[in-house]
């Protein structure tokens, strides 16, 4: 077992210990693991299943059903594009197409250099200033393709 595997097991065990007594704890455990590691490692699924007396298929099904959960490590910075109706009405679909083309990845994926993960979100609460994106937790409104390129090409993002 590698030190990374041991870390993953410790995180899963801590989450199981914290939430096992709660009703329907699977989502709570998955959120705790992802909050700690940034993703749900595939090797964690059997441990979570055993800890909650669920099948591996049940746990895997929840992880793959919700787009929020990642099954691989995220990039150093996450870029989220609002796909809600208000942002769609002012160009988020074209912005999303530009982002996928420019970064060379689809939603829920990470650039080859590990710098950026591209995620779709359904409302950033910035409806009056759409299309909106969040880069590394910072919200930006009225984002054009040119502004997207500026926001995602800063040296601290690793590009």
pTM: 0.81
How does pLDDT run across 72-84, given as a tens digit for each residue? 999 999 999 999 9
Print the domain residue range for 23: 3-65
Whether 92 and 150 share a structural domain? yes
* Closest listed residue to residue 75, CA positions, set 9, 156, 12, 3: 156
Structural domains counted in the chain = 2
Q: How far apart are CA 9 and CA 5, in angstroms?
A: 6
Q: How far apart are CA 130 and CA 86, in angstroms?
A: 7
How does pLDDT run across 23-82, given as a tens digit for each residue? 999 999 999 999 999 999 999 999 999 999 999 999 999 999 998 899 999 999 999 999
Q: What is the CATH number of the domain that holds 148?
A: 3.40.30.10
- Among the candidates 19, 37, 65, a domain finishes at 65
- Stretch (H or E) spanning 157: none
């Amino acid at each position: 077992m590698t030190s990374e595997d041991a870390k993953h097991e410790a995180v899963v065990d801590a989450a199981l210990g914290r939430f096992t007594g709660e009703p329907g704890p699977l989502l709570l455990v998955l959120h705790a693991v992802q909050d700690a590691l940034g993703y749900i490692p595939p090797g964690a699924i059997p441990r979570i299943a055993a800890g909650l007396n669920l099948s591996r298929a049940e746990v895997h099904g929840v992880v793959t059903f919700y787009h929020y959960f990642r099954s691989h490590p995220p990039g150093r910075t996450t870029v989220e594009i609002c796909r809600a109706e208000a942002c769609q009405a002012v160009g988020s679909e074209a912005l999303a197409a530009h982002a996928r083309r420019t970064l060379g990845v689809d939603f829920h994926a990470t650039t080859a250099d590990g710098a950026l993960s591209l995620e779709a979100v359904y409302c950033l609460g910035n409806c009056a200033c759409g299309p909106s994106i969040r880069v590394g937790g910072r919200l930006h409104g009225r984002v054009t393709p040119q502004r997207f390129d500026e926001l995602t090409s800063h040296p601290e993002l690793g590009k």
